Amino acid sequence: MADPLSGPSSPVVASSSTPPPTASAGVSRSPLSPSDHPEAAGSTHVARDFGYLLKPEVYHPLTQLSDVELTSTKETPPPFRTPSLQPSADTPLPILLQKGHFRPAAILSAHLLTTSTSPTAYAEIFSLLHTRLTCLVLLHLTPLAAQEVKALEDLSSSYYLDPLTGAHLVPWELRVLAVRLQAIGFGDWRRGVMGYYELMREARSGGGGAAPGKELGAAERRLWMIRGRELGLRVGNSLVEMGDLEGAGRHLEDLKDAFKDEDDPATESAFLENLALLHLRTGNISAAQSILSNKTPSSPSPSSSSSSSSPLPALLSMSRGDFHTAATQWSALIASTTAHTTASAPDPSPLFLQNLALCHLYTNNLPQTRKILEDLVDGGWSFHTLLWNLATVYELCSERGVGRLKEGLAGRVAKGVEEGWGKGGVGGERGNVDFKL
């Protein structure tokens, strides 16, 4: 089925010359979004007109994968365009998301936005828009999402505030996503950094952002503290993507003290691990090593049974080029996490196995690398880096027939997705980019 939107083939986004109307600038601002602010969530006095987000020309037309004649072969391998892998046309949006059918979910979100949503139903509009943009990113269609998000324009405008409570009408998660996508869409990474700083100022004032006559409780204050820390990491990541490694290093060094948390050592440990990973991205191995050395055994990662299950030592060994030591460390981690995996905690061993395979690659043991990665695929795993790395291994193994190997890999993954869906598992689309086709 073709995309229900009737817009042109090239995107036409809401122009900056027609911004949303401006409300009174004198309203005090609360950092609480409707999802976090009970009073705002139940507000009935907001009458903002968000019709500019409901125009069909804002959203890029997409096609269902079952429409083989309409789907570009440059986007999706043929095994994923078979009708048996597609959900029925009447599948509700929550089920599409639950099952990993992100393309149909993106199409349905845009259809609902442009056909049946009231321009004043801001909660529904922003929920559908968040779903649409997130699905595009998950489909490796970030450039499209970066164009569509421009329709939001300036989210710091007072037009996006509740005129009585001052609460922001846009959910926090959508605002954070919009900062990055708008930076990409406008080709201005510094805009993204400044957007994160704007949100960080809001997070820091979270303690004073309760509804009139009320105070934020301990849980709400802690929520805003954690959001502020996450934004600090996002700023560092943006600086790395800009190529400003020196600025990123200074910024990350300043974050170290901000991550101290005597009330929750596990959360502190998790943030410090993320901080160390960003240091590794900048090439500052000594800074990452310093964080690892200062971590105490009493501060385990929340997803680990003990601090010994941290992947940082193995990653540091890989960063130094000591792949033999790293392979030993990854093997120990895999044995440890397999023994402690529970139904309530995600199993990190597939990522550890992938890193072990890469260590074998750099120690000239290509057959073992291929075996580990293929075993992961046969075991039902098909995340992007796994497929990309296995396709790269196929390129290294043979100059002839490499196309057949990649196409065969796509077929195996598609079959696994279909079988998993039939057993209640998660489906999902994979693109040619995943298989380097």
Residue 56, in any domain of the structure = yes
Residue 398, in any domain of the structure = no
Calculate mean pLDDT across residues 256-271: 73
Residue 101, in any domain of the structure = yes
Tokens 């900048």, residue located: 282
CA 425 vs. chain centroid, Å, equals: 21
Residue 267, in any domain of the structure = no
Residue 123, in any domain of the structure = yes
Residue 389, in any domain of the structure = no
pLDDT at 72 over 70: no
Contact of 155 with 175, CB cutoff 8 Å: yes
Overall domain count for the chain: 1
Q: What residues form DSSP beta bridges with 410?
A: none
CA 31 to each of CA 128, 157, 198, 230: distance values in angstroms, whole numbers, following the listed order: 21, 13, 11, 15
Contact of 39 with 167, CB cutoff 8 Å: yes
pLDDT at 242 over 90: no
| Distance from C-alpha of 374 to C-alpha of 409, rounded to nearest angstrom | 9
Retrieve residue 328's tokens: 């030993």
pLDDT digits (tens, 9 = 90+) for 323-372: 999 999 999 999 988 766 555 555 778 999 999 999 999 999 999 999 99
Contact of 311 with 303, CB cutoff 8 Å: no
Residue 250, in any domain of the structure = no
Between 202-216, 244-258, 404-418, the lowest mean confidence (pLDDT) is in 202-216
pLDDT digits (tens, 9 = 90+) for 150-203: 999 999 999 999 888 888 999 999 999 999 999 999 998 889 999 999 999 888
Helix axes 402-422, 384-397, angle to 10 degrees: 150
Between 101-105, 109-113, 355-359, the lowest mean confidence (pLDDT) is in 101-105
Contacts of 90 (CB under 8 A, 6+ apart): none
**pTM for the whole thing?**
0.78
Retrieve residue 186's tokens: 């406008």
The residue that leads in pLDDT, 202 or 14, is: 202
CA 309 to each of CA 93, 97, 122, 270, 411: distance values in angstroms, whole numbers, following the listed order: 38, 32, 44, 12, 35
- Residue 82: pLDDT band with limits 50, 70, 90: confident
Contact of 23 with 47, CB cutoff 8 Å: no
pLDDT at 70 over 60: no
Helix axes 245-258, 265-281, angle to 10 degrees: 170
Contact of 7 with 145, CB cutoff 8 Å: no
**What radius of gyration, in Å, describes the C-alpha atoms of the chain?**
24
pLDDT at 41 over 80: no
Residue 113, in any domain of the structure = yes
Contacts of 109 (CB under 8 A, 6+ apart): 93, 128, 129, 131, 132, 135
Residue 170: its pLDDT value, please?
A: 95
| Distance from C-alpha of 145 to C-alpha of 376, rounded to nearest angstrom | 31
Residue 28, SS3 per DSSP: coil
**Residue 217: Cβ-neighbour burial (10 angstroms; 0-12, 13-18, 19+):** exposed
Tokens 């393309």, residue located: 103
**DSSP assignment of 302-365:** TTSSSGGG-SHHHHHHHHHT-HHHHHHHHHHHHHHHHHH--TTS---HHHHHHHHHHHHHHTT-
Neighbours of 87 (CB within 10 A): 19
pLDDT digits (tens, 9 = 90+) for 408-427: 998 898 888 777 644 445 55
Contact of 269 with 295, CB cutoff 8 Å: yes
pLDDT at 117 over 80: yes
Longest CA–CA separation in the chain, Å? 73
| Distance from C-alpha of 102 to C-alpha of 426, rounded to nearest angstrom | 11
Contact of 282 with 249, CB cutoff 8 Å: yes
* Domain assignment of residue 97, given as a range: 1-16+27-187
How high does pLDDT run on average in the chain?
Answer: 79
Contact of 393 with 361, CB cutoff 8 Å: yes
The dihedral formed by the CA atoms of 265, 268, 274 and 276, expressed in degrees to the nearest 10: -90
